[in-house]
Amino acid sequence: MNSVNRITSFFLLAVTLYSLSVTAQAESGITGKSLYQAYCSQCHGLYGDGFGVNSYDIDVAPRDHTDAGEMNARTNEDLFKAIKFGGKSVNKSPLMPNWDGNLDDQEINLIIKHLRKICCEGGQ
Ligand code: HEC
C-alpha cells in the first residue's frame, strides 16, 4: 500500500468511527432534557421552575432554573460544581444532592446546556 492509500484508508476509518459514535449517541436518546427530567425534576420541577413534587416537603426551596437573573449570575463552572459535588460544595444547602455517582462529566455538561436553554433562551 503506498502512503497516499494508507492516509486515505486511515481517513476513511476515522470518518466511519466518528459517524458510528455520533449515531450511537443520537440513538441512545440521552439529552440534557431527558437527564434533567429523570434526575432533577422531582425537586426543581419538570420545567425547572422550582416546583417539583418534593419541593413542598423540603426546607430550602430548590433553585428556580428559569430565573434568568440568578442563573446569569452563575458561571457554567459554578453549575458544574453544584451538580457534581452537591449544594454544600458551593455553600448552598446539602439538600441539593451530589450527582458524581450517577452522572458523568459529559452528562452534567448536557444538563448545563439544558439549564442555559430554560433560563435564558426561552426553551424548555
Ligand atoms: C432532593 C431535591 C433535589 C434534587 C433531586 C436536585 N436538586 Fe438541585 N437543588 C435542590 C435545592 C434544595 C437547591 C437549593 C440549595 C440552596 O439554595 O441552598 C438546589 C440547588 C441547585 C443548584 C444551585 C443553584 C444555585 O443557586 O447556584 C443547581 C445548579 C442545581 N440544584 C441543579 C440540579 C440538577 C442539575 C439536578 C439533577 C441532576 C438537581 N439539582 C437535583 C434540590 C434538589
**Those residues with Cβ within 8 angstroms of residue 94's Cβ, 6 or more apart along the chain or in another chain:** 86, 87, 88
Q: Map out the domains of the chain as residue ranges.
A: 1-28, 31-120
If you measure from the C-alpha of residue 118 to the centroid of ligand 1, how many angstroms do you get, rounded to a whole number? 15
Among 1.10.760.10, 3.30.830.10, 2.60.40.10, 3.50.50.60, name the CATH number for the domain at 31-120. 1.10.760.10
Reported as a single tens digit per residue, the pLDDT across 40-86 is 999 999 999 999 999 999 999 999 999 999 999 999 999 999 999 99
Q: Please report how many Cα atoms fall inside a 13 Å half-sphere around the Cα of residue 109, on the Cβ side.
A: 3
Instruction: Provide the grid cell at 1.
Output: 500500500
Please, what sign has the CA dihedral across residues 95, 102, 37, 75? positive
Q: How many Å apart are CA 2 and CA 5, to the nearest integer?
A: 5
**Does residue 39 have its Cβ closer than 6 Å to ligand 1?**
yes
To test the pocket of ligand 1, the residue of 55, 63, 66, 79 to mutate (highest count of ligand atoms within 8 Å of its CB) is 63
pLDDT at residue 55, rounded to an integer: 96
